Amino acid sequence: MNSDTPKPFGQVSPTESLRYRTQNGEQPESRHSVTDPSKCRKMAKKYGWTLLRVEPTNSGILEFDCVFEGETEFPIYFQENDNE
């Protein structure tokens, strides 16, 4: 797999995902649900993602979807050690 080939979802960093478009030519988007629109801006700033828009959901708990440019995923801060 060369560097220009899209990787499966979950294996693409936010910066890598900006290099390609989907098969229909559209830029990939990711969604993360929140309780307040201000959390979208905080998430974008914290992880360096580009926030495209905030959309209302039909959920009573997570009332908004943050729509980000590219495929995004949260960093893994620790991994379990099999020796422990």
Distance CA 19, CA 40 (A): 23
Q: Is residue 64 part of a domain?
A: yes
For 78, phi and psi rounded to 5 degrees?
Answer: -155, 160
Domain that holds residue 64: 16-69
The band of 81, judged by pLDDT with boundaries at 50, 70 and 90, is: low
Q: Is residue 26 part of a domain?
A: yes
Long-range contact set of residues 17-22: C-beta below 8 Å, sequence gap at least 24: 17/69, 17/70, 17/71, 17/72, 18/69, 18/70
Tens digits of per-residue pLDDT, 11-65? 334 434 444 455 566 789 999 999 999 999 999 999 999 999 999 998 889 999 9
Q: Is residue 56 part of a domain?
A: yes
Q: Is residue 53 part of a domain?
A: yes
pTM above threshold 0.75 = no
